[in-house]
Amino acid sequence: MNGHPNNLPATGYVRLPDVLAAFPVSKSTWWAGVRSGRYPAGHKLSQRVTAWRVEDIRVLIEQVAA
């Protein structure tokens, strides 16, 4: 994936590198935002794998752009 929100799939889940490509912040900033509720929480797919709904990331991008 390239660093643009339009390159996100229409639906489904994306892992953190794809999230950060579409919403460019550092990993530590992202995780701090998730803990504080500023950014959407991920969904645990397994013990070591977290993914985010594409729809949630698109809403976040729209909110920040507004």
Q: How many CA atoms lie within 13 A of 56 on its CB side?
A: 17
Structural domain boundaries, residue 14: 5-65
- What are the structure tokens assigned to 14, written together? 């994306």
Task: Compute the distance between CA of residue 54 and CA of residue 19 in angstroms, rounded to an integer.
Answer: 8
Tens digits of residue pLDDT in 9-66: 889 999 999 999 999 999 999 999 999 999 999 999 999 999 999 999 999 999 988 8
Q: Give SS3 for 63.
A: helix
More confident residue, 40 or 7: 40
More confident residue, 46 or 8: 46
* pLDDT for 2 beyond 70: no
Name the domain count of the chain.
1
pLDDT of amino acid 66: 85
Pairing of the two strands 49-53 and 43-46: antiparallel
Q: What letter represents residue 51's amino acid?
A: A
* pLDDT for 1 beyond 50: no
